[in-house]
Structure 1
């Protein structure tokens, strides 16, 4: 007769809400899917549609071909621009080549583009708070002539920035930044330039803010915190930073359950789990399943706020 298996030790999993896909990511993925449905494969996508390996791989399987630049696309196939936005030169180039293009830029990123243009038209000197080289920053700076926007990444940058006219400065921000870090940079700018023009409504998007607040709620009760997301996802990386700042030394960014190291869980009683705005919910379930295979898991959903935002698809994909 076989020995009974030893009882598995209990483990509490706190699920942060909201987590995973935001409205902009959901819209961008749908645009690629519907473009393939309407025009057939292949459909070209300039840059990863969103920064998540699983999403990109699934769309590749459906017939999407991902490229970095427009000149890698044939002119007789549709091309989709990623959710991060593109410089103005990209759609202009597509039009000059008579290409069919669909713009999946998140409407909240487009709002920042419009703001930057408005400040420029008003003759203001523009500061963009963001991360150098991130496609959203490249896209936003590319809305205006070269040299019109100064990128600021840190409080030190804000203190070193010297405008031509200190009374005529405006700022905008990347939508996926750390709320706390950005507040410190904005405070440094306001201290030096009290008249600086701010966005009408904060540029950091609702989804980034909500996910960071949800992590704070969960972190207070967690020994370990796992963030599902890819390493090139700005908002996912910020969630790990927020957790660590809240005192969770064992905060880890993982692509999926296969990257889970059970050594992290040794001695832990409570594990927080969340997902960046570009990570599908199936990845969260995969981690819960992996933990349930080893521990006696109970799951509690921790609500920070419920999201009801949705964005319309381009008319060409909705019309018959």
Structure 2
């Protein structure tokens, strides 16, 4: 099937269907390169041949009513946690070498499941990413008793390496829906360094009218004062190697290829996704998308024959 507006719509519906998350018409219109009037016509045509459904202005596939109900419950939970998310983001920003804080995952899309958490995407000073990460992990272990609930710090990049290497619909969606919490300038720089996203999404990037500007805390001044120069370089390198060794032992079941993506460990990037969620999502998305396309082609061929 050639690239078309129908393909664009079905591709996005298939992606969010992986999460059983039907999009509202307003959301879908922001994600695609189609005018609202034309989008409504395409949606009506796709609904008419039974590929997708439209209920209360939400668009999705089978069991749409149940998915809408579950989505609305998760939306309310996310709204109730808005202040907590902002509080934690501001707290994270006070740690040594942290320069910017954003929220990723389901919360950035306005949803929290019953067992969900809040995922933070953290930008650090170059050459000090692993010190920043270690301080935050120690805080979580000592003061939050290693709880992942509402304080999941699993993705770090430094401010000189903001372009994401893996370029696919998963990473594009995560980037385009990142919710900036601290340091608007760095968020804008992140957007500029990932212009490739436009191949997936035309223009949408989250804004946050209450985004905080970074402030130098006493903890930052103290920690960064100690970890200067060659000593800081050695400590950062030590923490990276220590973490890598631990992860290689703990997640040895991953192939080298999967480990490189899910547990990326370099001087300027740290990812901690042992379930390799990205791979599972991409595989499931492709499966749903191919099924929708197959159904679309079958119906349009029948219609053409008639």
Same fold (TM over 0.5): no
Greater helix content: 2
Greater strand content: 1
**Higher-RCO chain (CA-CA 8 Å, sequence separation at least 6):** 1
Q: How does the TM-score come out when normalised to structure 2?
A: 0.29
